[in-house]
Amino acid sequence: MNINKLTMDQLFLLAQQINYTEPSKPLDEWSYDELMNTATYRYINDKLMIKVCQLVCNKFSPIKLIIKNNLRSYISTFATNVS
């Protein structure tokens, strides 16, 4: 599957299928990637956050590119965990 051709909504749906486990160490010890992956996991699984994200993207289209890149990175990193 070529995730570069997916819409933002399709990326959200695909990312929601990933079985992500948050780090168990203290938050102060999390790496940048662990922080970003956990934040991504939380917002893709929160309907309110998805709605806010969509509204912001409609007002500021460059944000949509950033969100889509973040989702693609998350999916690519954890693709083996897609259920």
Q: Which has the minimum average pLDDT: 1-5, 33-37, 52-56?
A: 1-5
**Interval 39-77: pLDDT, tens:** 999 999 999 999 999 999 999 989 999 999 999 999 999
Q: Where are the domains of the chain?
A: 7-17+31-78
Q: Which of 64, 68, 65, 48 is nearest to 56 (CA)?
A: 64
* pLDDT band for position 26 (cuts 50, 70, 90): very high
